[in-house]
A and B are shown apart, each in its own frame.
Chain A
Amino acid sequence: MNRRNFFAGAATAVAATSVSRVAMAALPEPVSQGSTATAAPLVPPNGRPYNPVVTLNGWTLPWRMNAGVKEFHLVAEPVVREMAPGFKVNMWGYNGQSPGPTIEVVEGDRLRIFVTNRLPEHTTVHWHGQRLPNGMDGVGGITQPHIPPGKTFVYEFTARRPGTFMYHPHADEMVQMAMGMMGFWVTHPKESHPLIDPVQRDFCFLLGSFDVEPGSATPKVNTMTDFNIWSFNSRVFPAIDTLNVRKGDRVRIRVGNLTMTNHPIHIHGHEFEVTGTDGGPVPRTARWPEVSVDVAVGQMRQMEFIADEEGDWSLHCHKAHHTMGPMGHDVPTMIGVDHKGVAEKIRKLVPDYMVMGDKGMADMGEMEMPIPDNTVPMMTGTGPFGSAEMGGMFTLLKVRRDQKPGDYRDPGWFKHPPGTVAREVPNANMPPATRKETPAPSMKNSSPDATVRKPSGSGAHNH
C-alpha cells in the first residue's frame, strides 16, 4: 500500500477539472484519485488530531484550513471504476472514484464543503445522519435548489456529533445511487469519549449493488431487485483488499448500506459487538456479542472486537447470492441430469460446449472458461487449498502476530501451525450418492402427495 500525499497540487493526485482557474480562485483545488488501491490512513496535517480510518479500496479527501474552517471540495462526475482487474464500470462518483473519498472530520469542526457538479444532470448532496441546519440537508427541491451541471454549491455546518455517516445525492436519487454516487463520512470524537474506545485499526466500507449486464459497462439504473454485482466499496472479491491486522489489535469495522436490500455481515473466528450505528455510539449496556450483524437498507453499523485469533478469517455478507458474481438467474438447476449422449450431440453443434452444473456449480469455480468481456466469473478466488468459490461481498480478516503496528500490507496466506488444518481420514472412502432410478415425485402422476395438492374444486371447498 502506498502512502500518498493528498494535498492540493501533490504529484500523485490528478487535478481533473474543466472549471476555470479564475472562477476557482476561492475554492480549494479539487483532488482526484486514479487508483483503486486502499490508501494509507490520512494522518491529519492540521486541525484537531484524530486516529484516521482506512477506507477499503478507497481514500480520504484532503482538506485545507481557511480561517479555522475545514474546506473540502467534492466534484460529482462520471468515473470509470475498476471493480475487479479487467472489469471496468461506467459510474458516477466523486473526485475520480466511486464510492467517493471518505470525509474525516472531528467533532466540533466548522466545515465548508464545496460541491461542483460535473454530471450531465443536476445533483445535491445529502449528509446522511448529520445534525445540521435544515437548509444544509441536501434534499433537492425541498431544502435547496438543485446544483445544475457546471455549478458549484457550498455546504456549511458544524460536525456536531461523533460517529459513522455517509453522503449521497438526494436528487434523481434512484439513478444517481444506482450509478454509484456515495461516500463515507467519519466524525471522530474531539476528546476521549466514554462510549467510543480507541482502536488500533479502523476500517470502513460501503455496501453497493449494481446491475451490470455481463459484457456491458454501465449499470442498469432501472433494476429494482435483481442486481448481479455485489460489492464492498465498489470492488468484488477477490479484488477487495483484505483487512490486515496485528494479533491483539482492537479492530473497528464500519459498514454502511446504500443498496436496496439488507446484508447480514458475518465475521469468522471472532465475536464482535455493535458499538455504534448512524444514530451514534451504542450504550455499553445495550451491546451484545454477535458474529453477524444485519445492516439494513440505509443503515450503518460499527463492529468492534479484539483480533486475538490468528489466521485468515472470512468476512462477508451471509446472503449466499451476495458472495457470487454475475449469474443467470433463470438458469435451471442441472443437478443429477444425465448428459450421456446429449452432450456429444450438443458438442457437434456447439464445439466449445462443456457440461456444467450436473453435479452442482463448483465446476464454475474450478473451470477456467472464457466468459463475456468486461465481467467477472460467477465465483472465483483461490486460496492455498484451492478454489474459494466465492465472489462479490467477500473478503478476509488477516490476523498476524508479526504484523507491525500501522502496517496495513497484506501478509500473504496464513501459515497454519502443524496439525491445525482439517485433514483427510485415511481409508474411509465412501462413494458419492448415485442418481436414483426411481422417478422423482413430480413425475408420479398417481402420487398421493400430488393428489392432495391438486385443487379439485368440489372436494376442497365443500366442507
Chain B
Amino acid sequence: MNPIVRRQLAGPLCYRRSSTPLKRAAAFASVLILAGCASLSPDGGSADVQALVNGNPLMAGTTAQRAPDEASQKSVDALLAKPLDVEAAVRIALINGPRVQDAFATLQLSDADRVQAASLPNPVLSFSRLAQGSEREFERMLSFNVVGLVTLPWQARWAGQRHEAAKLQAAQSVLMLAADTRRAWVRAVAAQQSVVYLRDAKEAAEAGAELAHRMAQVGNWSALQRTREQLLLADASAQLARAEQAAVASREQLTRLMGLSGARASYTLPDRLPPLPQAAPELGDVQALALRDRLDVRSAQAQNTAVAGSLGLTRATSVINAMELGVVRNTTFDNDADRTKKTKRGFELDLPIPIFDWGQARNGRAEAQYLQSAARVRDVGVLAASEAREAWQGWNTAYAIARRYRDEVLPLRKKVNEEMVLRYNGMLASVWELLGETRASMLAVNAGIEAQRDFWLADTDLQLVLTGSSPGGMTAAQTASASDAPATGGH
C-alpha cells in the first residue's frame, strides 16, 4: 500500500472504529487501511503516562524520565550537590532510577504488542515446481488468512485497550517508585537522626560508667554498683550499633531507588525530617476519591473492557478459527513434445471442519477470563475503598501520635530533665539519676523521631492510596514509649 495514501486515510479511521452492522462491510473493506494505521508510538506511550501522573502530589512536580540523557544527568548532579530533600530524592529516582526505566520498557513492549496485534497478516506466497518426465508444473498461490483479516478490527481494538491498561500500570509503577523513594528518604533521614540521639544516650551512659569506675577506684562504690553502670553502657552501645546499621540499610535502600553508585552515592541528607503539617487536610469522602482516582481501579476497569472485547472475538471465531483463502495459478509446461503450456487459475480455501472442536473450550475460557477480570475489578474496588479508610485513619493516628510527642511527651521530658537538674543541684539526686534522666530523654526524642517518621510514611501511604495504587500493606504505626522509661541511676 502506498504510504501516502495510508497517511491520508489514517486520521479518521484509526480513531473511530464503528461496529454498527451497517458499517460492517465498510469496516471489512477498510481492513487494509486500518491495519496500516497501527504504528509504534515514538515515545512508547510515556507521554500518556506522564499525563496520568502529572500533578500527583507524590511526583514532586517532576516528570519521569524514559531514558536518562545528558541534561537529566546534569540535573541529577545538581540535585546531589545539596543536602537531599525529599522532592530531590523523588526527582532523582524518576530521572535515574532503574525501576522507572523498567516501567517504561515494559510499556514499550505493550506498545509493540499493540502494533503487532493490529498489523495485517502478511499474505503467503507459495510456489512449487513439480517435474514429471518432460512435464514441468509451476504452482503459485497467494493466500490470506481470512479469519485473521476478519478479526483484525477486534484484535486491534483489544490490543489498544490492553495498551491503555499497560499505560495505567506503568503510571502506577512510576507512582510506586515515587512513593517508595519518599518512604526510603523518610526512613533514611529518621534513622540518621536517631543515630545522633542514641549517640548522646550512649555518651550519657559512658559518662555514668566512667564515673562509676572512678567511684569504685577510690573505694566509694562496690563492684555491684559499678557493674550496673557498665551494664547500662553496654546496652546503650548495642542500641547505638543497631541504629547505625539501620541508618546504613535505609540509606542504601534510598540509594538503590535513586539508581546511584560510586561517588554519587555519598550524597548528604538533611539533619531532620520536615515538621508536621499544621492541620489534617480536608479530604471529604476518601473512599469516593480512591475509587475515582486510583490508577489500579482504572486499570482493572480498562482490562475488564479489553477482556469483554476479546469475548466477542472469541465467540465470532469459536467455530471457524481459521480460514485461508488463496489465489492459485498453475502453469504446466511440456518441454518434450509440442512444448505446450497450460495455465490453470483458481482459488483455494482452507477451512477446518468443526467436527471435534466446536469452540466450547475457547468460549468457556474466554467467559471465565471475563468473569475473572470482572471479579478483579470488584476486588480492586473493595481494596481501594478499604485502603482509603485505613490509610486515612492511619494518617490521623500517626498525626495525633507525632503531635503528642511534639507537644506533650518531649516538653514534659524536658521538664522532667530540668526538675532533675534542680534536684541534682540540691544534692537530692545523684549524677547517675541525672544521667539516667538524660538517657531517657534521648530515647524519648528518638521515639518522637520515630513517630514523626511514621507520620510521613502514613502520609505517603495516604497519597498513594488515594491517587495511585495499593501501597502493598499499610505501614503499621510503630509505637515506642519512652515517656515512662524509669530513670534509675542503677543503685
Query: Do B211 and A353 touch across chains, with their CB atoms under 8 A apart?
Result: no
Q: Would you give the shortest CB distance from A95 to chain B, in whole angstroms?
A: 33
Which listed residue (A214, A336, A443) contacts B426, Cβ 8 A?
A214
* 9-residue interface stretch from A54-62, A140-148, A366-374: A366-374
Q: Which residue of A lies closest to B429 (CB)?
A: A328
Find residues 226-259 in chain A having any chain B CB closer than 8 Å to their own CB. none
Chain B positions 178 through 213: 1 when the CB is less than 8 Å from some CB of chain A, otherwise 0:
000000000000000000000010011011001100
Contact A375:B220 (CB < 8 A) given known A332-B215, A337-B211, A337-B215: no
Q: A375: which B residues are within 8 A, CB to CB?
A: 426
Interface contact A342-B218, CB-CB below 8 Å: no
Asked whether any CB of chain A lies closer than 8 Å to the CB of B380, the reply is no
Contact of A52 with B by CB under 8 A? no
Interface residues of A in 293-333 (CB under 8 A from B): 326-328, 330-333
Query: Smallest CB–CB gap between A385 and chain B, Å?
Result: 23
Give the shortest distance, in Å, between A33 (CB) and chain B (any CB): 30
Mask of A330-360 contacts with B, CB within 8 angstroms, 1/0: 1111111111011001101110111011000
Min Cβ gap B233→A in Å is 12
When the two chains form their complex, are residues B218 and A336 in contact, meaning their CB atoms are under 8 A apart? Answer: yes
Chain B positions within 8 Å of A348 at CB level: 203
CB-defined contacts of A371 to chain B, threshold 8 Å: 422-423, 425-426, 428
Nearest Cβ on chain B to A214's Cβ, whole angstroms = 5
Q: Which chain A positions have C-beta within 8 A of B221?
A: 332
Shortest distance between the CB of B331 and any CB in chain A (Å): 103
**CB atoms of A331 and B428 under 8 A apart:** yes
Q: Give A326 to B427 CA distance when docked, in angstroms.
A: 9
Set A333, A350, A352: member contacting B220, Cβ < 8 A: A333
A18 shortest CB reach to chain B, Å: 37
| A330-B491, A342-B207, A350-B421 known; A364 vs B427 contact (CB < 8 Å) | yes
Min Cβ gap A388→B in Å is 16
**Is there a chain B Cβ closer than 8 Å to A274's Cβ?**
no
Knowing A342-B207, A349-B438, A372-B419 touch, does A337 contact B428 (C-beta < 8 A)? no
Question: Are B220 and A345 closer than 8 Å at their CB atoms?
Answer: no
Chain B 433-471 interface 0/1 with A at a Cβ cutoff of 8 Å (1 = within): 011001000000000000000000000000000000000
The answer to whether B206 touches A440, judged by C-beta atoms less than 8 angstroms apart, is no
With A370-B422, A441-B219, A442-B222 known as contacts, the answer to whether A214 contacts B214 (CB < 8 A) is: no
Nearest CB on A from B198, distance (A): 13
A131 to B330, CA, bound (A): 153
- In the complex, the answer to whether A369 meets B425 with C-beta atoms within 8 Å is yes
**Are B491 and A327 in contact, with the CB atoms below 8 A?**
no
A345–B203 CB distance below 8 A = yes
Interface status of B138 (Cβ within 8 A of chain A): no
Contact check, B424 vs A353: say whether CB atoms are below 8 A apart.
yes
CB pair B204–A349 under 8 Å, yes or no, is yes
Known: A215-B419, A345-B203, A371-B425. A337 touches B220 (CB 8 A): yes
Is A65 part of the binding interface, using a Cβ–Cβ cutoff of 8 Å? no
Within 8 A of A (CB), among B87-107: none
List the A residue with the shortest CB-CB distance to B432.
Answer: A332
Decide if B216 is an interface residue (CB 8 Å cutoff).
yes
> Given the known A-B contacts A330-B491, A332-B215, A337-B215, are A378 and B426 also in contact in the complex, defined by CB atoms under 8 Å?
yes
Q: A330-B491, A342-B210, A370-B422 are in contact. Are A435 and B218 (CB under 8 A)?
A: yes
B317 is an interface residue with CB less than 8 A from chain A: no
A361 proximal to B (CB < 8 A): yes
Would B426 and A346 count as touching, CB distance under 8 A? no
Do B428 and A352 touch (CB < 8 A)? no
Asked whether, in the complex, the Cβ of B207 is within 8 Å of the Cβ of A330, the reply is no
Is A426 positioned at the interface, with any CB of B under 8 Å from its CB? Answer: no
- Minimum distance in angstroms from B222 CB to a CB of chain A: 7
Residue B217 CB within 8 A of the other chain:
yes
Interface string of A194-215 (1 = CB under 8 A from B): 0000000000000000000011
B308 at the interface (CB under 8 A from A): no
Residue of A337, A361, A441 ringed by the most chain B CB atoms within 10 A = A337
Determine if A417 is an interface residue (Cβ-Cβ < 8 Å).
no
Asked if B430 lies at the interface with its beta carbon under 8 angstroms from chain A, I say yes
B328 at the interface (CB under 8 A from A): no
Check A345/B427 contact, CB under 8 A, given A442-B219, A443-B217. Answer: no
Chain B 212-240 against A: per-residue CB contact (8 Å), 1 yes, 0 no? 00111111111101000000000000000
- Kindly provide the distance from the CB of B117 to the nearest chain A CB, expressed in whole angstroms: 69
A412 interface hit (Cβ, 8 Å):
no
Query: Is the beta-carbon distance between B218 and A353 smaller than 8 angstroms?
Result: no
Which residues from A are CB-within-8-Å of B434?
346, 350, 353
Q: Are A331 and B429 in contact (CB under 8 A)?
A: yes
0/1 string, A442-463, CB within 8 A of B gives 1: 1100000000000000000000
Contacts of A328 in B (CB 8 A): 423, 426-430
- B221 — nearest CB in chain A belongs to which residue? A332
- Quick check: is B67 within 8 A (CB to CB) of the other chain? no
Q: Are A372 and B214 in contact (CB under 8 A)?
A: no
Asked whether B424 lies within 8 Å of A214 as measured between CB atoms, the reply is: no
Given A342-B210, A371-B422, A350 contacting B438 (CB threshold 8 A): yes
Residues of A within 8 A of B322 (CB): none
A332 touches B423 (CB 8 A): no
Please pick, from A337, A352, A442, the residue contacting B421 in the complex, using a CB distance under 8 A: A352
Question: Is A68 an interface residue when CB atoms closer than 8 A count as contact?
Answer: no
Chain A: minimal CB distance from B49 (Å) = 52
- A439 interfacial by beta-carbon distance below 8 Å: yes
The CA-CA distance from A456 to B215 in the complex, in Å, is 27
Q: Which residues, 370 to 429 on B, are CB-close (under 8 Å) to A?
A: 417, 419, 421-429
In angstroms, how far is the closest chain A Cβ from the Cβ of B227? 13
A378 touches B220 (CB 8 A): no
Contacts of B246 in A (CB 8 A): none
What residue in chain B is nearest A214 (Cβ atoms)? B428
Contacts of B220 in A (CB 8 A): 332-337
Which A residues from 28 to 69 make CB contacts under 8 A with B? none
Bound state CA distance, A331 and B489, in angstroms? 10
Contact A214–B219 (Cβ < 8 Å)? no
Complex Cα distance, B425 from A335, in Å, reads 16
B431 at the interface (CB under 8 A from A): yes
* A377 in the interface (beta carbon within 8 A): yes
- Chain A, 135-172, CB within 8 A of any chain B CB: none
Q: How far does the Cβ of B84 sit from chain A's closest Cβ, in whole Å?
A: 29
CB distance from B487 to the nearest CB of A (A): 12
Nearest-Cβ distance from residue B434 to partner chain A, whole angstroms: 6
CA–CA, A354 and B422, complex, Å: 11
Q: Which residues of B lie under 8 Å from residue A341 when comparing CB positions?
A: 210
- A334 — which chain B residues lie within 8 A by C-beta? 215, 220, 431
Cα of A215 to Cα of B422 in the assembled complex, Å: 10
Name the A residues within 8 Å of B219 (CB-CB).
336, 440-443
Given contacts A341-B210, A346-B434, 13 further A-B contacts (CB under 8 A): A214-B426, A327-B428, A330-B489, A331-B430, A332-B430, A336-B220, A337-B218, A339-B211, A342-B214, A345-B210, A350-B438, A443-B216, A443-B217
| CB<8 Å pairs between A and B, sample of 21 | A214-B428, A326-B426, A327-B428, A328-B423, A331-B427, A331-B428, A331-B429, A332-B221, A334-B215, A335-B218, A335-B220, A342-B207, A346-B435, A352-B425, A353-B421, A354-B425, A361-B427, A371-B426, A372-B423, A378-B426, A443-B219
**Interface residues, chain B, CB within 8 Å of chain A?**
200, 203-204, 206-207, 210-211, 214-223, 225, 417, 419, 421-432, 434-435, 438, 489, 491
Closest 8 CB pairs of A and B: A440-B219, A371-B426, A369-B425, A336-B218, A328-B428, A331-B430, A372-B422, A345-B207
